[in-house]
């Protein structure tokens, strides 16, 4: 039987672990709240650019060229993956999607150190990679670098189909969403009627510029959603871990009380036996 002193030390260690888990849970929750605030601004930006595209699409010159190559099988998959651990099966689910895309011939662009390490360990070559920033405010800068890298790839291979994979913090179990990013889907923007505003650019370069701006906004959104989803998964995983630690602590407390009672009983018996020997 364990001595009460040994059990007490285990209780102290469990309490320390519980404190670490609570800290990780609080940090994840704070990052999730931060991301949700930034998403409002990103959606507002998307709405403005989408409105400009609806107006500009009154003259659809150059759109057909942008829509070419949709039937191309192999393309590029951008994975907004996991950057840290302690988030349950979240990282593994995203990694599996990336592996399936690579098996289909897609080149991979990966965000997230943990996902990057998993793919490198699997022997997968990557077109581009970066870690996720630790703060949501730094994500637009990452989106800008990713957009530059993506446009460089599309300059070399303009007929490649580009998909982006990211998790949704609001979906059940933070399910990953894979959607097409390029060629651009102009049907998402209904052409507005009425008088056209004064435009100094011809339709083709205007639409091209607005498409680039909208893709940047979509990258910002996907990165922010991935950032939020990972932190939501971590907060939930830490909540489960907290429950397990509390249960273990309660079991150890009960074990300590039983061990202490047994020790006291043994001491009383030994004391009584000693008194009988003196008589």
pLDDT tens figures, 139-153: 999 999 999 999 999
Predicted confidence (pLDDT) per residue in 190-235, tens digit: 766 655 666 777 777 888 888 889 999 999 999 999 999 999 999 9
Cβ(155)–Cβ(139) under 8 Å? Answer: no
pLDDT band at 69 (very low <50, low <70, confident <90, very high): very low
**Topology (CATH level 3) of domain 22-192+201-236:** Pyruvate Kinase; Chain: A, domain 1 (3.40.1380)
Q: Where are the alpha helices (DSSP H) in the chain?
A: 4-56, 63-66, 90-103, 113-121, 139-156, 203-278
The rounded distance, in Å, linking the Cα atoms of 127 and 149 is 9
Cα separations (Å) of 155 from 22, 93, 149?
47, 31, 10
At residue 62, the pLDDT reads 45
- pLDDT computed for residue 152 by the predictor: 92
Provide CB contacts within 8 A for 212, sequence distance 6+. Answer: 147, 151
179-181-185-190 Cα dihedral, nearest 10 degrees: 90
Average pLDDT over residues 97-105: 88
Q: Quickly state the pLDDT bin for 68 (edges 50, 70, 90).
A: very low
- The predicted model gives 109-114 an average pLDDT of 94
DSSP β-bridge partners for residue 162: 76, 182
- What mean pLDDT comes out for the span 251-275? 77
What's the pLDDT score for residue 73?
A: 56
Q: With 80 as the cut, is the pLDDT of residue 185 above it?
A: no
pLDDT of residue 2: 73
Domain boundaries, the chain: 22-192+201-236
């Amino acid at each position: 039987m364990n001595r009460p002193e040994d059990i007490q030390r285990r209780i102290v260690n469990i309490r320390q672990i519980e404190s670490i888990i609570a800290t990780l849970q609080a940090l994840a929750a704070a990052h999730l709240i931060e991301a949700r605030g930034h998403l409002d601004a990103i959606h507002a930006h998307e709405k403005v650019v989408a409105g400009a595209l609806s107006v500009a699409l009154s003259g659809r010159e150059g759109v057909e060229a942008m829509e070419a190559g949709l039937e191309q099988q192999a393309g590029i998959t951008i994975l907004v993956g996991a950057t840290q651990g302690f988030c349950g099966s979240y990282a593994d689910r995203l990694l599996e999607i990336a592996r399936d895309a690579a098996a289909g011939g897609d080149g991979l662009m990966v965000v997230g150190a943990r996902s990057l390490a998993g793919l490198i360990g699997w022997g997968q070559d990557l077109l581009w990679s970066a870690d996720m920033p630790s703060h949501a405010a730094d994500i637009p800068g990452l989106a800008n670098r990713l957009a530059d890298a993506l446009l460089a790839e599309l300059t070399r291979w303009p007929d490649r189909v580009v998909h982006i994979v990211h998790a949704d913090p609001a979906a059940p179990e933070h399910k990953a969403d894979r959607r097409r990013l390029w060629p651009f889907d102009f049907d998402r923007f209904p052409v507005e009627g009425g008088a056209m505003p004064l435009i100094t650019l011809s339709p083709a370069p205007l639409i091209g510029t607005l498409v680039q701006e909208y893709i940047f906004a979509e990258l910002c959104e996907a990165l922010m959603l991935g950032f939020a989803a990972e932190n939501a998964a971590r907060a939930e995983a830490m909540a489960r871990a907290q429950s397990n630690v509390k249960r273990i602590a309660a079991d150890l407390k009960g074990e300590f009380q039983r061990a202490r009672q047994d020790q006291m009983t043994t001491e009383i018996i030994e004391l009584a036996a000693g008194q009988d020997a003196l008589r």
